[in-house]
Amino acid sequence: MDLGITDRKAIVCASSRGLGKGCAKHLAEAGCHVIVNGRNHDVTMATAEEISKNAKHEAKVVLADVSTAEGQQALLEACPQPDILVNNNGGPPRKDFRELDRAAMLEGVTQNMVTPIELIQATIDGMSERGFGRIVNITSLSVYTAIEGLDLSSGARAGLSSFLAGICRSVADKNVTINQILPGKMDTDRLMGGIKATATNKGISVEEAAANEANAIPAKRFGTADEFGALCAFLCSQHAGYITGRNILVDGGLNQNAF
């Protein structure tokens, strides 16, 4: 399917690896000018080179922490008029909420709520004026399904969805959409880190811990960054202009709610 976004300009935050990389890859393959963002020089450069091999345009690299004012400025200088913004960022580590002090809570909210809002503030009016804009926020299954120890991440990401619920409707008539994709258990470094910790705590092998996790999912497997990125690219396409304000689960059926 031609997504109709050839030559569109896309900023994909935290896209040097994992789900962000999957999104950048599919947008580049759809013909977009893509900004690949990361903090690790070697990893980010390798990702941009890999993505560029199958793309119409060479991916640009911005090495920066997207949560900082300087990082956001660098992204917007590299792409002053983005048509597509994919918000993604690392989240706070799993921790008992009793152990969270104010500084940790503020940092978590900054990473997963304030940062995407700031980037939307900087880009949404330009999108509206040009008559095209696609904003996709990568949040988490934990917005809908409680995950012990991820309370800070869950709260910040849920706050983002609620914050944007009215905003997305205020620009829908300008052909600007805002949606969230909520990944479940995806085959990423973050998931593997958690599985290794579980294996250590339970005294079992990593393979057994991974199998236990996968078997709890109706699909009996973990999701992939590639299929996640394909969905992101569709939401950014010309065909998705009538989809806005949605929180779309990608979890292999793990969340069992009907609605």
The tens digit of pLDDT for each residue in 101-146 reads 999 999 999 999 999 999 999 999 999 999 999 999 999 999 999 8
Burial of 93 by CB count in 10 Å (0-12 exposed, 13-18 middle, 19+ buried)?
middle
DSSP state of 110: I
Single out the residue of 243, 251, 169 nearest to residue 214, CA to CA: 251
- Distance (Å) of CA 5 to CA 31, 179, 251: 7, 17, 27
Mean pLDDT of 238-243: 98
Domain chopping of the chain, boundaries: 9-184+224-246, 187-222
Q: Up-side HSE of residue 155: CA atoms within 13 Å toward CB? A: 14
Residue of 56, 78, 80, 58 whose CA lies nearest to 5: 56
Question: Residue 259: which pLDDT band, with cuts at 50, 70 and 90?
Answer: confident
Q: Using pLDDT thresholds of 50, 70 and 90, give the confidence band for residue 94.
A: confident
Please give the model's pTM, rounded to 2 decimal places. 0.95
**Contact (Cβ atoms closer than 8 angstroms) between residue 135 and residue 142:** no
Instruction: Report the amino acid identity of residue 79.
Output: C
Instruction: Identify whether the C-beta of residue 12 lies closer than 8 Å to the C-beta of residue 27.
Output: yes
- 188-238 pLDDT, tens digit per residue, is 988 888 899 899 999 999 999 999 999 999 999 999 999 999 999 999 999
The reported pLDDT for the residue numbered 234 is 98
Query: Does 50 score more than 90 pLDDT?
Result: yes
CATH node for 9-184+224-246 = 3.40.50.720
Q: Answer positive or negative: Cα dihedral of 220, 222, 227, 229.
A: positive
Q: Is 88 helix (H, G, I), strand (E, B) or coil?
A: coil
Separation of alpha carbons 118 and 235, rounded Å: 21
- Residue 188, CA atoms < 13 Å, CB-side half-sphere: 21
pLDDT at 91: 86
CA distance 71 to 76: 9
